[in-house]
Amino acid sequence: MMLSTSIPVLQSLDQAARKDLIPIKLGVKAAKFAKQTVNTQMKSFKRYGIFADWSNPYLTLDPKYKACFSEWKDLLGPSWDFRHESIITR
């Protein structure tokens, strides 16, 4: 689950919708929100004249970046706390 995108999703839901929400559905809604936000940011960056490889963005929700997550665990060591594939600093 993506913590930074879960909060606005939860805030947009009413009490009844939050009550029926399970973690997997929250993750799907958070991913949808993240993709919409990325598209909005890309449009703004293009309008500002920022050059980038817009057809190949770096998105942490992309499975190819999650595939090497276990390697990061080994590299960073015990000083980092990993929960639900998210890095939480101490």
Express each pLDDT in 27-44 by its tens digit: 899 889 999 999 999 999
- pTM value is 0.67
**pLDDT of 85:** 52
Q: 4-8, 12-16, 57-61: which has the highest mean pLDDT?
A: 12-16
Burial 32-50 (b: 16+ CB within 10 A, else e): ebbeeeeeeeeeeeeeeee
pLDDT digits (tens, 9 = 90+) for 77-87: 666 655 555 54
pLDDT at 50 over 90: yes
